[in-house]
Copies of this chain bind each other. A is one copy, B any other.
Amino acid sequence: MSTKKLRKDALAIFHAGVKAADPVIAVKQHFRLEDGILSVENRTYDLANYKGVYVVGAGKASAAMAQPIEEILGDRIRASAVNVKYGHDVPLKIIRVNEAGHPVPDEAGLKGTKQIIQLLRQTGDKDLVICLISGGGSALLPCPVDELTLENKQLVTKCLLEVCATIHEINAVRKHISKVKGGQLARLVYPSTLISLILSDVIGDKLDSIASGPNVPDTSTFSDCLHILNKYNIRQKIPAAVLEHLERGARGEIKETPKADDPVFKKTQNVIIGSNILAVKAAREKAQELKYHSLILSSFIEGETKEVAKVHAAIAKEILSTGSPVPRPACVISGGETTVTIRGKGLGGRNQEFVLAAAIEIDGLEDVVILSGGTDGTDGPTDAAGALADGETVRRAIAQGLDAEFHLRENDSYRFFKPLGDLLITGPTYTNVMDLRLVIVG
């Protein structure tokens, strides 16, 4: 097959993956209304049984998720409040959107969250609440307990990051100084019925990690939080009000976050409507449609980008050499999110750097195309989502005076691929389910 055809196929496969994570398509696929009966995955809800329908939510994609919701539910929506990042608004007729700060939460986020809480105070046993959660939902749904300020919360996170606490430990503490995280939003919804639609941007789709799990049972306790502070010896460093709150909680003076056996969750349905693995699977379907032998490597991929790229290139080489792990024409798909340790002063992102590192490894090989792209349409501080390369890329670059090794060392993948015309540019996709990577051997 010609490299041109392989590149065209790679783009089609990538776009099929991204499309599966499109908030509008993802919502419509998982949330259907027919003759007054709402079907959400394996459950149905007869809207005739509910007095009012409310919509709340937080996350970068939550306004985009709200659009099909208002299209489906229309005037049935009695009240709504959804927090999104500045600039991530979409035109809506019914659902009310609050723009707020991300990744650093701000007063607008706090105000929006208070509106959500206020709205939930009106709801009762016979109401239905739809909650739209997506990546960024943790920063966009800030609401520290009454004694604390946003600054208090941020300082605690900073202390925990400084001592290299795990994300699990940081989340445990965060959940216990918040009014909504760690299942507490679901508790505010209760006794109303809650349908939580989730677009996951977290490796492994752990529900209690996405947006700090506002509608999911929490497994951590106030006592755990104190243990964590002791373990890292930072009791003295965190604000006194925070420590006091955690200590009161550990003494049983403050209600714990809701646990798995809490009745709250009997009236809660959490549904992942979009995720990396769903995008990866959609990409595989497209690859199969295009007659590739296709293989999902893993949606859990993490690690240093350029090293992960070497493993992907090694798979391309084995396919060429022996037809393992899949025979030609082959398409190997991976997901997840890698990291870049920045050593240079260049411009780029993890997806472009992945493709640059892979291009060096596959230099001179025929019939190999490698693509990596962010499903949100942005890769690092650039206007590209990622890039494509084949066995000729490094040579084409040399002809233009571009040294692949130099650009990799400088983390300058954008300025390598731009002159070659090999950037992958999609524009904003209004979704984010991490990255998609393709190894195609024609």
Is A296 in contact with B318, judged by CB distance below 8 angstroms?
yes
Q: Which residues of B contact A318 (CB under 8 A)?
A: 277, 296-300
| Chain B, residue nearest A304 (CB) | B307
Using Cβ atoms and an 8 Å threshold, which residues of chain B touch A321?
Answer: 204, 277, 299-300
Q: Is A163 engaged at the interface, CB distance under 8 Å to the other chain?
A: no
Could you tell me the distance between the alpha carbons of A241 and B103 in the complex, rounded to whole angstroms? 64
Q: What CA separation (Å) do A318 and B303 show in the bound complex?
A: 15
Q: Name the contact of A325 in the complex, choosing from B295, B301, B308 (C-beta under 8 A).
A: B295
Complex CA distance for A324 and B332, rounded to whole angstroms: 11
Q: Name A residues whose Cβ lies closer than 8 Å to a Cβ of B.
A: 204, 277, 295-304, 307-308, 310-311, 313-315, 317-318, 321-322, 324-325, 336
| Contacting residues, chain B, for A322 (C-beta < 8 A) | 277, 296, 299
- Alpha-carbon distance between A296 and B297 when the two chains are bound, in angstroms: 12
Contacts of A314 in B (CB 8 A): 297-298, 300-303, 336
**A327 nearest CB across to chain B (Å):** 12
Bound complex: CA of A297 vs CA of B311, how far in Å? Answer: 9
Pairwise interchain contact A325-B296, C-beta atoms closer than 8 A: yes
Closest to A284 in B: B324
B300 and A325 contact, CB distance less than 8 A: no
Chain B residue with Cβ nearest A296: B324
CA distance A125 to B150 in the complex (A): 89
Complex Cα spacing A297 to B314, Å:
9
Complex alpha-carbon distance, A325 and B334, angstroms? 10
**CA of A295 to CA of B301 in the docked complex: distance in angstroms?**
18
Considering the chains assembled together, what is the distance between the CA atoms of A97 and B235 in angstroms?
69
Tell me, rounded to whole Å, the shortest Cβ–Cβ distance linking A283 to chain B: 12
The distance in angstroms between the C-alpha atoms of A298 and B314, with both chains bound, is: 6
| A324 partner, pick from B298, B304, B308, beta carbons under 8 A | B298
Cβ of B311 and Cβ of A298 under 8 Å apart?
Answer: yes
Give the docked Cα–Cα distance between A244 and B350 (Å). 47
* Neighbour of A297 across the interface among B304, B308, B315, CB < 8 A: B315
Residues from chain B with a CB closer than 8 A to the CB of A277 are 318, 321-322
In this complex, the member of A296, A298, A308, A310 whose beta carbon has the largest number of chain B beta carbons within 10 angstroms is: A298
Q: Which residue of the partner chain B has the closest CB to A315? A: B298
> Given contacts A297-B324, A301-B314, A304-B307, could you give 8 more A-B pairs where the C-beta distance is less than 8 Å?
A204-B317, A296-B322, A298-B311, A298-B317, A298-B318, A307-B307, A307-B308, A314-B336
- Tell me the minimal C-beta distance from A365 to chain B in angstroms: 11
- Residue from A296, A307, A313 having most chain B Cβ neighbours under 10 A: A307
Q: Known contacts A204-B317, A317-B204; decide if A325 and B297 are in contact (CB<8 Å).
A: yes
What are the residues of chain B within 8 A of A313 when measuring CB–CB? 300
Contact A325 B310 (CB under 8 A): no
A41 to B324, CA, bound (A): 23
A336: B residues at CB distance < 8 A = 314
Measured between alpha carbons, how far is A324 from B300 in the docked complex, in Å? 11
A325 touches B298 (CB 8 A): yes
The distance from the CB of A288 to the nearest CB of chain B, in whole angstroms, is 13
